[in-house]
Structure 1
Amino acid sequence: MNIAVNAGTLAGEPQPVPQPVPGPPRPSEPAHIIRDDAEAIRVAEALAEAFRIGASGRDRSGARPAAELDAFSQSGLWSINVPKAHGGPGVSYATLAKVIAIVSAADPSIGQIAQNHLGIVAAIDTVSSPEQKTLLFGEVLRGTRFGNAFSERGTKRAADFETRFTADGDHVVVRGQKFYATGALLAHLVPIVATDGAGRAWYAIAERDAPGLSVIDDWSSFGQRGTASGTVLIADVRVPKTHLVPAWKGYERPSADGAIFQIIQAAVDAGIARAALDDTIDFVRTKSRPWIDSGQDRASDDPYTIQAVGDLTIRLHAAEALLERAGRAIDAAVAAPDAASVAAAQLATAEAKVLTTEAALASTNKLFELAGTRSTLAEHNLDRHWRNARTHTLHDPVRWKYAIVGNHALNGVAPPFHAWS
């Protein structure tokens, strides 16, 4: 049984009884398949125009972007890192990061929902057998969306998992509980990180409507509201062994899997920074008043405002350049994975994560200083940019990215090798 609960009730009010709700239907038509990198960018830009229109309203109401997600996955952009050998576009990871940044500038919740799906596609390419790749990539190319049931609350560290599975014939039976389950609510398949008797982590990819799988819509964060990153309850969920992916193998030897998960997070932050800067410029040009001491007739001619917008623009361009550089480093590590190429991809991605975090926080905060008091009015809902940036940039602590880069530069120490690096 699947359960979704809306957490929007006021404190002290009676809580609604959770009601069973089905997952989204599988697409009735096969998804489009992108031909090349240039088409991926064109499609992302067209979708972003449509997603931008309702983004503020969805943030206000807490509405889930169901129709938008259908358009996104059917566009072919959810299969862009399926390898060419398996019928996919196999675009550059620099292009993939740019796609996510473009979409996230329109609605960062939608950009983040795709993150774990694309990461799982990369992991399957790294660790799955040829037969499993054919099966699962076939699903992705038809338009099937993966969600995520990875993280857990209450464990000592992010990499500690209490969710377990046991074998039962040609299936495994999974039991546990997850949180931060971005994308699970609107997924067709839900990859669950669960460990075997030896403590090794696997992705047990369950049907969204599998008996015992309950998705709880209890995401109450002030930002990234549309991600529905709430709870997944897993009560003896049966998963066929054909859909049991050995995630642990991705970290048994050098692979770019961790850097791929990370670059998509950085791309979301780059998109948030872009949206905030664009809205700052528009507001200053059309609504803000010049300060009385400036001697100017337009706020956009204030020399201090000009300087600040120039600074934010340079920071964003630098972040975007590092994001592209990290994508190229990941491409090299995917093509020829070894300790050196993977470390180079991790370091480049860490650098991009630092600058995209800083650009997102600076742009979303500076918006109000430059645009003025009226920019804080509820009618504009511009605080959503800061709320989204502040929430999403907490995904993994950027202070540790500085440490990774500095320790390598000073002491030649390679980055730690796990899914968050």
Structure 2
Amino acid sequence: MTSVINTGQKAHIIRDDKEAIAIAHELAAEFAKGDSERDQNRRLPAEEVEKFSQSGLWGITVPQEYGGAFVSNATLAEVIKIISEADSSLGQIPQNHLYMVEAVRLDGTDEQKKFFFDLVLQGKRFGNAFSEVGTKSVNDVQTKLQPDGSDFVLNGRKYYSAGALLAHWVPVIASNPDGKTVVAFVERDAEGLTLLDDWTSFGQRTTASGTTIIENVKVKAEHVIPHYLAFERATPMGAIAQIIQAAVDVEIAKAAVRDTIHFVRKYTRPWVDSNLEKGYEDPLTLYNLGNVQIQVHASEALLRRAGEFLDIANESGLEELKVVEASIAVAEAKALATEAALLATNKLFELAGTKSTLEEFNYNRHWRNARAHTLHDPVRWKYYAVGNYFLNGVYPPRHPWL
């Protein structure tokens, strides 16, 4: 099991949106240097994740009354976008951590908020143990939380536990005795908790993911959040999860465009029938690159718009219609981000040519990352939700995937 780097130092506390974005740019410039090498060797980014969380960026959504900056959701998406262009795996790793911060904000007791938000501001990281396989659907939770005196005992098996290998705490989605979904926060070194470094996907290879085995793990009552409450009323819980996923996809697309431009300018020859001197003068290349760039810019705009809708929903006191509008706006952003990421990563090779497929460039990581990451939830259902809302006035379902 991969060891967690722990400097013993408390994380920097970011004070506002401007500082969050500035720090994200600084880190991205550093993280981009080792992106390809980490991917090729599947080297988990332990040092990078430690710098990332110590920077304070993992605590930017902690409410101000608990010591955080509580940045806008537009800023949250922008921060993830900036980091993801440098390394999409690093951009994805804090997704579930930030999701848990929102879960505590919405449904934690005041004591839980004080406890967990303090951990976050110290630089402690939450991983995740959410997904199961072989069940009827993603919300069919077989992991069980059972009473054990005044506390609980937890048993189950989870997969795709992104970030867990480098986390200090592993929040586990479980079913309580009433069949309702809760989150049990488990410390990484808890007896009975086993994390396996067995993630074998061809994409997002360094997300510190794998299998989580939970065998008779003791859980304190104060470490359990009634997560089902977030979906029994209008909240931005699902939209928060999705806007972060969308931000990762947008930046996979941007990274692919960046490398396409670099390669075409430096290496690509014009097609023989064009009668031109330079590959970057080819009119069909220009047309196709223009199309990709427009799609990427449109996805960026929808992402920013989605963040603004989420902020409006929060400012409204979670008025149901405002929450619904935010969920739909995020669905639109996620849909276009998926399309842009797949388009940009495919066009890279078409426009750059055969040489761009050589292993020395490792450009295939962009397509692999886009293809793997955009499968987290089916984008076809985003279009359905958007169409059904605008045509029939049907509100989208309440769950973490919309």
Q: Give TM-score scaled by structure 2 length.
A: 0.98
Deviates more, 1:360-369 or 1:302-311: 302-311
**CA distance, structure 2, for counterparts of residue 228 and residue 153 of structure 1:** 19
Aligned to 1:320: 300
1:215 alignment counterpart = 195
Alignment partners' CA distance in 2, 1:99 and 1:395: 20
SS in 2 for 1:225: coil
CA contact (8 A) 1:354 1:401 kept: yes
Show the counterpart of 1:400: 381
Pair 1:108 & 2:97 matched: no
Aligned partners of 1:223 and 1:388 also within 8 Å: yes
Asked whether the equivalents of residues 324 and 395 of structure 2 are also in contact (C-alpha less than 8 Å), the reply is yes
1:352 pairs with one of 333, 337, 341: 333
Determine whether 1:117 maps to 2:97. yes
Q: Distance in 2 between matches of 1:252 and 1:129?
A: 17
The alignment status of 1:74 with 2:54, answered yes or no, reads yes
- Separation in 1, partners of 2:228, 2:6: 29
Establish whether residue 41 from structure 1 lines up as the match of residue 21 from structure 2. Answer: yes
Matched, 1:379 2:360: yes
1:310-340 deviation digits (Å, cap 9, x = unpaired): 1111111110000011001111222321220
For 2:367 and 2:377, the matched residues in 1 are separated by: 17
Matches for 1:337-348 after TM superposition, within 5 Å:
337-348=318-329
Question: Which residue number corresponds to residue 204 of structure 2?
Answer: 224
- Following the alignment from structure 2 to structure 1, what is the Cα–Cα distance between the partners of residues 314 and 130? 23
1:264 equivalent among 219, 236, 244: 244
Of the three residues 343, 349, 362, the one matched with 1:368 is 349
What CA distance in whole angstroms lies between the structure 2 residues aligned with 1:134 and 1:249?
20
Question: For 1:228 and 1:76, how far apart are their aligned partners in 2?
Answer: 20
Select 2:151's aligned residue among 141, 157, 171.
171
How far is 1:371 from its partner?
0.3
**CA displacement 1:236-278 (0-9 Å, x = unmatched):** 1112222111111111211000000010000000110010000
* Shift in Å, 1:290: 1.4
Structure 1: which amino acid aligns with 2:336? L
Equivalent in the alignment of 1:307: 287
- Among residues 104, 124, 135, which one is paired with 2:115 in the alignment? 135
Question: 2:9 maps to which residue?
Answer: 29
Partner Cα distance (2:26, 2:287) in 1:
32
Aligned residue number for residue 84 of structure 1: 64
Separation in structure 2 between the aligned mates of residue 25 and residue 285 of structure 1, nearest angstrom: 41
Q: 1: CA distance between counterparts of 2:319 and 2:104?
A: 18
For 2:239, the aligned partner's letter is A
Letter in 1 for 2:318: P
The Cα of 1:25 is off from its aligned counterpart by 4.8
Identity in percent: 54
Q: Work out the CA distance in 2 between the residues paired with 1:338 and 1:218.
A: 43
Deviates more, 1:236-245 or 1:25-34: 25-34
* Structure 2, unpaired ranges of 5+: none
CA positional deviation for 1:170: 4.1
Amino acid at match of 2:212: V
| Residues 115 and 264 in structure 1, CA contact (< 8 A), matched pair in contact too | yes
How far does residue 229 in structure 1 lie from its aligned partner after superposition?
2.2
Hey, what's the Cα distance between the residues in 2 that align with 1:348 and 1:242? 35
User: Which residue identity does 1:226 align to in structure 2?
Assistant: T
Q: Structure 2 counterpart of 1:39, which letter?
A: E
Measure, in 2, the Cα distance between the counterparts of 1:212 and 1:238.
8
Q: Deviations over 1:7-40 (max 9, x none)?
A: xxxxxxxxxxxxxx6x415441110111111111
2:167 aligns with 187
Instruction: Report the 3-state secondary structure (helix = DSSP H, G, I; strand = E; otherwise coil) of the residue aligned with 1:290.
Output: coil
Distance 1:218 1:367 in 2: 30
Q: Is the 8 A contact 1:25 1:188 kept in 2?
A: no
**Distance in 1 (alpha carbons) for counterparts of 2:6 and 2:153:** 24
- TM-score normalised per structure 1: 0.94
Trace 1:195-210 onto structure 2 (pairs within 5 A): 195-210=175-190
**Distance between the aligned counterparts of 2:4 and 2:220, measured in 1?**
21
Number of aligned pairs? Answer: 401
Three-state SS of the structure 1 residue aligned to 2:329 is: helix
- 1:84-114, CA deviations, whole angstroms, 9 ceiling, x for partnerless residues? 1111010001110011111111111111111
Provide the residue aligned with 1:11 in structure 2.
none
Deviation, structure 1 residue 169: 3.3
The amino acid across from 2:365 in the alignment is R
SS of 1:110's partner is helix
Structure 2 CA distance for aligned equivalents of residues 342 and 400 of structure 1: 18
Counterpart of 2:58, as a letter, is W
Give the Cα separation in 1 of the matches to 2:222 and 2:4.
Answer: 22
1:275 corresponding residue in structure 2? 255
Q: 1:168, CA displacement in angstroms?
A: 2.0
Separation in structure 2 between the aligned mates of residue 355 and residue 383 of structure 1, nearest angstrom: 21
SS at structure 1 position matched to 2:166:
coil
Backbone CA RMSD of aligned residues: 1.0
Counterpart Cα distance in 2 of 1:174 and 1:104: 34
State the one-letter code of the partner of 2:302. Answer: L
Instruction: Provide the residue aligned with 2:400 in structure 1.
Output: 419
Name structure 1 gaps, 5 residues minimum.
5-20
Secondary structure of 1:226's match?
Answer: coil
Q: Secondary structure at the match of 2:71?
A: coil
Conservation of the 8 A alpha-carbon contact between 1:132 and 1:242: yes
1:167 alignment partner, SS class: strand
User: For the Cα contact (< 8 Å) 2:5–2:47, is it kept in 1?
Assistant: no
Paired amino acid for 1:420: W
Cα displacement (A) at 1:138:
0.3
Deviations along 1:164-212, whole A, 9 cap, x unmatched? 1112234311000000100111100000011111011111100111110
Q: Is the 8 A contact 2:130 2:173 kept in 1?
A: yes
